[in-house]
Amino acid sequence: MSLIIKNSPGIKPSEITPESDYYNRRQFIKQSAAVLGAAWAGRIAMPVQAAQTGDFPTAIKSQYSTREPANSFEDITSYNNFYEFGTSKTDPARNGTGFQTDPWKVSIEGEVARTGVFDLDELIKPYQLEERIYRLRCVEGWSMVIPWTGFSLAEMIKQFQPTSRAKYVEFTTLYDPERMPGQKRRVLHWPYTEGLRMDEAMNPLTLMAVGLYGKTMPNQNGAPLRLVVPWKYGFKSIKSIVKIRFTETQPVCTWNKTAPKEYGFYSNVNPSVDHPRWSQKTERRIGRPFWEPKIPTQLFNGYGEQVASLYTGMDLTKYF
Ligand code: MTE
């Protein structure tokens, strides 16, 4: 069941609960009791963790957050897909440890008035950071709930003033096999690239993330800058971005290029369109006990209210 808080454009910053309240001790105790009572002690996250570190003191809570309990920091940072650091789930945490992400530059290219190469700090400075708790559904059939810190991609795109020819946005991950040893193996077409249609990129749910659980983004989760598109399978949420290019034609995406029959350009979460090798009807929530039944997967990962209109009239079995 979707527990997304409805978009209410009139919401004033003063109506948003301050972070200090969100993480206060009383709430922590209440939440912990509820969560622990729900079973699986120690595996489900306690949101208080974010306040204790607080790398982003100016971040505000987002109206788009789900109220489902977040996965633990441990789960989120130890079970990863990041092929640049290896193909097993534990490789990115192990092999990404020494990955240097400062300094980091991002190149803005293509169909925009303002192109250029920007220091990450300079690039993200103008935007209001938010904590957004999103479901992430992996195409492999598992899911997590992750409290990201980031800002709206739409706000950033507006700053660069796209031309009328900008129909798509292409994102590229760093290519540096010395720093990302997984790139020495030809398991994917490197560098990893992903793309969105312009209206998908401009949707208020689309997030550029720089942290999670109130901490600077861990390397294994895509430091220092990654995309998060919560209604699409996780592989669209490209990590460690160094280039954002605005294009007139549909970008080539790594997974689509690697296995076009299995991974389409759109990659919207859709329980009615099976992967050719497995069903997409249900998902296993990481961190839940193995005896619990799998969760039914929702169309657009439960974010249909905000995004279904982007696909009106499209045959989603053809444009998967
Ligand atoms: N981005 C890059 N550059 N390389 C990758 O291998 N894996 C994708 C996506 N972004 C991947 C990537 C996949 S398949 C998933 S499910 C998510 O990252 C996982 O994000 P997480 O490890 O933060 O949960």
Tens-digit pLDDT profile for residues 78-132: 999 999 999 999 999 999 999 999 999 999 999 999 999 999 999 999 999 999 9
With pLDDT > 90 as the criterion, what percentage of the chain qualifies? Answer: 83
The reply to whether ligand 1 has any atom less than 6 angstroms from the CB of 238 is yes
What is the pLDDT at residue 5? 36
pLDDT at 218: 98
Please tell me the least confidently modeled range out of 24-33, 80-89, 93-102, 304-313: 24-33
Per-residue pLDDT at 37: 41
Per-residue pLDDT at 275: 97
Q: Quick check: helix, strand or coil at residue 320?
A: coil
Position 175 in a domain? yes
**Is the minimum distance from the CB of 233 to ligand 1 under 6 angstroms?**
no
Question: Considering only CA atoms, which residue is closest to atom 22 of ligand 1?
Answer: 80
Q: What is the pLDDT of residues 241-267, one digit of tens each?
A: 999 999 999 999 999 999 999 999 999
Closest residue CA from atom 6 of ligand 1: 82
Return the HEC string of the chain.
CCCCCCCCCCCCHHHCCCHHHHCCHHHHHHHHHHHHHCCCCCCECCCHHHHHHCCCCCCEECCCCCCCCCECHHHHHHCCCCHHHCCCCCHHHHHCCCCCCCCCEEEEEECECCCEEEEHHHHHCCCCCEEEEEEEECCCCEEEEEEEEEEEHHHHHHHHCECCCCCEEEEEECCCCCCCHHHHCCCCCCCCEEEEEHHHHCCCCCEEEEEECCEECCHHHCCCCEEECCCECHHHCCCCEEEEEEECCCCCCHHHHHCCCCCCCCCECCCCCCECCECCCEEEECCCCCCCCCEECCHHHHCHHHHHHHHCCCCCCCCC
Query: Does residue 112 lie in a domain region?
Result: yes
Q: Is residue 157 part of a domain?
A: yes
In a domain, 303, yes or no: yes
Which residue's CA is minimally distant from atom 9 of ligand 1?
Answer: 235
Provide the pLDDT for residue 47.
45
The verdict on the CB of residue 136 being under 6 Å from ligand 1 is yes
**Which CATH number is 297's domain given?**
3.90.420.10
Residue 218 belongs to some domain of the structure: yes
Residue with CA closest to ligand 1 atom 23: 221
pLDDT per residue as tens digits for the range 285-298: 999 999 999 999 99
Residue 5 domain-assigned (yes or no): no
Number of independent structural domains in the chain: 1
The whole domain housing 187 covers: 21-311
Please report whether residue 114 resides in a domain: yes
Average predicted confidence (pLDDT) for the chain: 88
Global pTM? 0.86
Residue 183 Cβ contacting ligand 1 at under 6 Å: no
The arithmetic mean of pLDDT across residues 34-59, rounded, is: 55
Q: Looking at residue 75, what is its pLDDT? A: 98
Ligand 1: does its nearest atom lie under 6 Å from the Cβ of 99? no
Ligand 1 centre distance from Cα of residue 192 (Å) = 10
Ligand 1 centroid distance, CA of 234 (Å): 6
Please report whether residue 2 resides in a domain.
no
